Copies of this chain bind each other. A is one copy, B any other.
Amino acid sequence: MDDVTSVQQAAKLTARGAATKARIVTAAAELMLERGAAATTLDDVLAASGTSKSQLYHYFGNKDDLIRAVVRHQAQRIQQDQRPELDALDSLAGLARWRDKIVAAQAAHDQVGGCPLGSLANELAGGDPQTRGVLQECFAEWEAPLRAGLTVMRDRGSLSPEADPAALAEAIMAALQGGLLLAKTHRSSRPLARALDMAIAHVHSLATASPA
């Protein structure tokens, strides 16, 4: 009854309306990345996006609905930002390139902000179950290419047959999230780099001698 809004209305959406909606989500995403979802007021969002209250409530049922839209938006943005590296995680070299891109992106943000998805997850996972569901989906979607790449490696013989791609992928995502959290806390990308290096070293230790 909440997401119905965004589904039904999607059909009756003018180009202008879609643009307005997008502007709201983009502005909200930026603010929520900096301050968190709870600390971001709707008035802030309106000011930043140059819209009015009635517009916001025309496109979103309530603040939680907007928050879910922001979660989805950030998940998409992350995947977009990490391409094409995200689709080439079927080798140690590919993993290294992905790592480099992530660390560089974190450094580019002046070490501020942490993970756009992880920060929201941390704040929202304990609340509304519907939102938690969206978060789970988004993490799964992000993790999928990694799991796929590792599966390719194992099936190709680059990794030991005992290697569990699903477990590996989940552990690597955990290292990434934790690294980003510590990086945000210390205002340094060092923890992130170390966490990812460890994760990749672990994959390396599972690699077979024959590079297939």
Interface residues of A (CB under 8 A from B): 34-36, 38-39, 112-114, 118-119, 121-123, 125-127, 132, 135-136, 139, 167-168, 170-182, 184-187, 190-192, 194-195, 197-199, 201-202, 205
A185-B121 in contact (CB<8A): yes
B178-A34 in contact (CB<8A): no
Per assembly, the copies of the chain total: 2
Residues from chain B with a CB closer than 8 A to the CB of A39 are: 38
Residue with the highest number of chain B CB atoms closer than 10 Å, among A119, A126, A176, A179: A126
A126-B176 in contact (CB<8A): no
Residues from chain B with a CB closer than 8 A to the CB of A179 are: 171, 174, 178
> Per a CB cutoff under 8 Å, which of B119, B173, B195 touches A171?
B195
A174-B202 in contact (CB<8A): no
A109→B186 CA distance, assembly (Å): 28
Closest to A35 in B: B126
B198-A125 in contact (CB<8A): no
Residues from chain B with a CB closer than 8 A to the CB of A201 are: 202, 205
Residues from chain B with a CB closer than 8 A to the CB of A136 are: 185-186
A181→B176 CA distance, assembly (Å): 11
A-B contacts, 26 listed (Cβ < 8 Å): A38-B38, A38-B39, A112-B126, A118-B122, A123-B123, A125-B181, A125-B184, A136-B186, A167-B198, A170-B194, A171-B179, A171-B198, A172-B198, A173-B191, A174-B181, A174-B182, A174-B198, A177-B182, A178-B180, A178-B195, A181-B181, A198-B198, A198-B199, A201-B205, A202-B202, A202-B205
Residues from chain B with a CB closer than 8 A to the CB of A34 are: 126
Residues from chain B with a CB closer than 8 A to the CB of A174 are: 175, 178-179, 181-182, 191-192, 194-195, 198
A86→B103 CA distance, assembly (Å): 30
A52→B174 CA distance, assembly (Å): 41
Closest to A119 in B: B122
Residues from chain B with a CB closer than 8 A to the CB of A181 are: 118, 121-122, 125, 174, 177-178, 181
Closest to A199 in B: B198
